[in-house]
Amino acid sequence: MSRSRFALALLAMATMVFAMSGAKAALDQCAGGGIHRAGWSQFGSEQFTSANLLGASAQVQVRTGLVCESDTDTYTNLVHAYAGISGFRYSSGSFGWVEVGYRRYFNAPQIYHYTEYSRDGSTFVRQTHGSVPLGSYATYASDYDVSCQCEALFIGGVRKAQTNFDPAVDWRDPTGCFCLSTVEARWQARTKYLQSDIPGIYSSSMAEFRNMRVEYIQGGPGAPNPIRMVATNPNGTRWLITSYDPAANHFYTACLAACT
């Protein structure tokens, strides 16, 4: 083979290898944007008042979640893992939320603590609270503070933020009851796109949610081992959430073999 033909053959092989590696990157294109959650929630029929309002807490292991790349918006194209609550605001006919956890945004080399809350989904407030190392466990908690009539958000036991609304008022049902039928505790991962991946890699470095608790009032003992747990996973071909284990009070999230 001549030197020129050998060079062309090497170029063709290199092009083929590049194309194959590029084809493997299933996260290149983002489509079907929205709010996609995977994990566990608690529903029930208990009634809550402003004195014992529901919250949620957990220790969450910090793992990387890959973010699809065609949407370069670093404010909205994110992967999150968090503990929090969500409630329905009847006056606006929409859901609000309170979250505290960690997140990774598009093209970010680091993972950051964050807090986020919204009364009814029309607007939200998000704050960043410093980076967090991979593999570590971060303790996140939201619970009700009767002094400010708001939900307080804690990272590692330190109060970092509080809501600008009162869930006990905004999320009551028409009968005046603040119930778990309209409010849920959440321990979940969240992405904007189904082509992004929740934190963790199956069989090697899954992300653990442990010491999960339902919180009733700021500074109170909380209630371990949540009950009536309901799973959510809109992307079972790419994402894994393990069963909630009430004996160990934990579960894991991860991306499956299809993840890159």
Range of the domain at 124: 37-255
**Residue with more model confidence, 183 or 24:** 183
- Per residue in 60-109, pLDDT (tens digit) is 999 988 898 888 888 889 999 999 999 888 888 888 999 999 999 887 87
Reported residue count of the chain is 260
Classify residue 182: in a domain, yes or no: yes
CA 126 – CA 105 distance, rounded (Å): 13
Classify residue 129: in a domain, yes or no: yes
**Residue with more model confidence, 167 or 221:** 167
CA 120 – CA 94 distance, rounded (Å): 5
Classify residue 20: in a domain, yes or no: no
Task: Using the predicted structure, report yes or no on whether residue 2 has a pLDDT greater than 60.
Answer: no
Strand, helix or coil at 133? Answer: coil
**Residue with more model confidence, 156 or 47:** 156
Residue 77 is classified by DSSP as S
Cα separations (Å) of 134 from 110, 116, 127, 131, 260?
9, 21, 20, 10, 18
Q: 98 Cβ partners below 8 Å, 6+ apart?
A: 55, 84, 85, 86, 116, 117, 142, 151, 153, 163, 167
Q: Predicted confidence band at 137 (pLDDT cuts at 50, 70, 90)?
A: very high
Q: At 39, which amino acid appears?
A: G
The number of folded domains in the chain is: 1
Identify which of 254, 201, 194, 233 has the alpha carbon closest to the alpha carbon of residue 68.
Answer: 194
Contact indicator for 228, 44 with CB cutoff of 8 Å: yes
CA triple 216-230-140, angle to 5 deg = 45
Classify residue 112: in a domain, yes or no: yes
Classify residue 144: in a domain, yes or no: yes
CATH of the domain at 62: 2.60.120
Alpha helix (H) ranges present in the chain?
3-24, 167-170
- Per residue in 186-201, pLDDT (tens digit) is 999 999 999 899 999 9
Classify residue 208: in a domain, yes or no: yes
Q: Predicted confidence band at 130 (pLDDT cuts at 50, 70, 90)?
A: very high
Strand, helix or coil at 159? Answer: strand
Q: Span 106-133, mean pLDDT?
A: 92
Classify residue 11: in a domain, yes or no: no
Classify residue 168: in a domain, yes or no: yes
Task: Using the predicted structure, report yes or no on whether residue 173 has a pLDDT greater than 70.
Answer: yes
Written as six digits, the tokens of 68 are 């699809």
Helices (H) and strands (E) in the chain, counts: 2, 18
Give the DSSP per-residue string, 194-238.
Answer: TTS--SEETTTEEEEEEEEEEE-STTS--EES--SEEEE-S-TTT
**Residue with more model confidence, 22 or 10:** 10
Q: Span 31-39, mean pLDDT?
A: 89
